[in-house]
Amino acid sequence: MAVLSEEQTILRDSAREWVKDKAPVQALRKLRDSGAAFGYDPALYAEMAAMGWAGIVVPEAYGGSEFGYLSLGLVLEETGRTLVASPLVSSALGAASALMLGGTAAQKEAWLPKIASGDAVATLAIEEGPRHEPLSTALAASRTGSGFTLNGTKSFVPDGMAADVFIVAARSSGKPGEAAGISLFLVPADARGVTRTALKLMDSRGAAVIAFDGVAVGEEALIGAPDKGFEVLEPALDRVRAGLAAEMLGTALQAFETTIDYLKVRVQFGQTLGSFQALQHRAAKMFTELELTRSCVEAALSAIDTGTNDIRELASLAKARANETLHLISNEMVQMHGGIGMTDAHDAGLYLKRARAAEAAYGNAAYHRERFGRLHGF
């Protein structure tokens, strides 16, 4: 565990208490079974925002607490433990970061205070294909006299049904595969030509396909310079990756602890499962992976806070490790519970489903191993 300030310790402890109290796994189950439209419970998110969580990375001037990414990571780790569905990652982390990194003063004034208060939900609309590959952005942004016209479709937009505004990666020049020529636009969800379709995902969280059909936007919608949107998008994505890795660390930790608790109570052959060395060594392996993952996650978040120049490689390291660790532990959780772990009534399946959804988001382990390798000249 990183050395935390007193305020950070208080933040983490209060997040832990709140999650236990207000958002146990049962809350996700209820959300799933109710078929709620947004993929999260707006009343719960309002409570989270009221505690200041949606403004943790937002500057004080825009209504946030400027408490930093490591601090937000502490909260995400706790919400990850019980699979809390909320726009913390999509809006309070992803969209807020993009605006902070490249937004104009007017854009920041218009949206950051509302994001920080939880009154608005903003989200990044990046993906177009089945796998995360932001450079392959193809959604067309054609120049018009007064701005741009957007044509194309974004898939898997997190919290896309709830969002008030999208930050859309579009291609204004060049071709898919190139960083140059990507531009970022701020597009209100109620803009003419925008239609959304809800996706029902296995982790019960909210996502949507967003179609842009001749959507007209002015120059003032650009985030960052035209054709240079990737300079804003890439660091914003790295912030999301590091934050999501923190959430996944929490998910993996809880899956691990639940499994260890079970090994201590389930008796077969007259002894607890935990007394079998075949399982003990695998438990020790999971514990080891969790420790390594924590170091990577905390290093990535701290690097963002201090602004060092290794954020990209640390974000990839953190996301790759979090993916591998959660993949391992979510599988072991089911296997070590035996038949019970296969039932819908047990939580193991919920952790397994959430694990794969989080693994696929913002780059799977192979994507980040490759990126880490390239950054290191391999």
Partner 1 sequence: MAATDTPELAAFRAEAREWLATNFPASLKGRAAIMVNLNVETDEPDFLAWKRAMGAKGWGVPTWPKAYGGGGLSKDEARVLSQEMVKIGAFSPIGGMGVMMFGPTLLEYGTEAQKQRFMPGIVNGTTRWCQGFSEPGAGSDLASLATRCEDKGDHYLVNGQKIWTSGGQYADWIFCLVRTDTTRKHEGISFLVFDMKSPGVEVRPIQLISGNSPFCETFFTDVKVPKDQLVGPLNGGWSIAKRLLQFERQSLSGAGGGTGGGTARFGAPDLERMVDKYVGRDEAGRVADADLRQRLIAHHMEARAFALTLSRAAAEAKSGSGPSAATSIMKNVGAKIAQDRAELSMEMMGHQGLGWEGEGFNAYELGMVRGWLGGKAVTIYGGSTEIQNNIVAKRMLGLLDHQ
Ligand X SMILES: Cc1cc2nc3c(=O)[nH]c(=O)nc-3n(C[C@H](O)[C@H](O)[C@H](O)COP(=O)(O)OP(=O)(O)OC[C@H]3O[C@@H](n4cnc5c(N)ncnc54)[C@H](O)[C@@H]3O)c2cc1C
Q: Which residues bind ligand X (CB under 6 A)?
A: 266, 268-269, 273, 276, 278-279, 335-336, 338-339, 342
Q: What's the one-letter identity of residue 81?
A: R
Please name every residue paired with 157 in a beta bridge, in sequence order, or none if there are none. 208
Choose the contact partner of 14 out of ligand X, partner 1, none; CB within 5 to 8 A by kind. none
Residue (44 or 263) nearer to ligand X, CB: 263
Residue (269 or 378) nearer to ligand X, CB: 269
> How many angstroms separate the CA atoms of 246 and 357, rounded?
15
Residue ranges in 243-272 that form contacts with partner 1 under rule CB under 8 A: 267-270
**Residue 345 C-beta: closest distance to ligand X, Å:** 13
* φ/ψ (deg, to 5) at 149: -120, 130
Closest residue by Cα to residue 243 from 360, 358, 100 = 358
Residue (168 or 208) nearer to partner 1, CB: 208
Judge contact between 272 and 283, C-beta under 8 A.
Answer: no
**Residue 204 C-beta: closest distance to ligand X, Å:** 23
Choose the contact partner of 36 out of ligand X, partner 1, none; CB within 5 to 8 A by kind. none
> How many angstroms separate the CA atoms of 284 and 293, rounded?
14
Choose the contact partner of 94 out of ligand X, partner 1, none; CB within 5 to 8 A by kind. none
Member of 131, 281, 285, 374 binding partner 1 (CB under 8 A): 131
Member of 18, 148, 156, 262 binding partner 1 (CB under 8 A): 156
**Residue 275 C-beta: closest distance to ligand X, Å:** 9
Site pattern 273..292 for partner 1 (x: CB under 8 A): ---xxxx-------------
Residue 306 within binding range of partner 1, rule CB under 8 A: no
> How many angstroms separate the CA atoms of 201 and 220, rounded?
34
The separation between CA 173 and the C-alpha centre of its own chain, rounded to angstroms, equals 29
Close Cβ partners of 182 (under 8 Å, ≥ 6 residues apart) = 134, 135, 137, 169, 170, 171, 172, 174, 227, 228, 229, 230, 233
In the 8-state DSSP scheme, what is residue 161? T
Close Cβ partners of 153 (under 8 Å, ≥ 6 residues apart) = 128, 139, 209, 210, 211, 212
Residue 377 within binding range of partner 1, rule CB under 8 A: no
Q: State the CB neighbour count (10 A cutoff) for residue 200.
A: 10
Helix (H, G, I), strand (E, B) or coil at 147: strand
Residue ranges in 350-369 that form contacts with partner 1 under rule CB under 8 A: 352-353, 356-357, 360, 364, 366-367, 369
**Residue 365 C-beta: closest distance to partner 1, Å:** 8
Closest residue by Cα to residue 141 from 224, 214, 190 = 214
**Residue 290 C-beta: closest distance to ligand X, Å:** 20
Residue 132 within binding range of partner 1, rule CB under 8 A: yes
Member of 88, 95, 122, 334 binding partner 1 (CB under 8 A): 334
Closest residue by Cα to residue 194 from 154, 248, 226, 225 = 154
Q: Which residues bind partner 1 (CB under 8 A)?
A: 127, 129-132, 155-156, 197-204, 209, 267-270, 276-279, 331, 334-335, 338-339, 341-345, 348-349, 352-353, 356-357, 360, 364, 366-367, 369-370
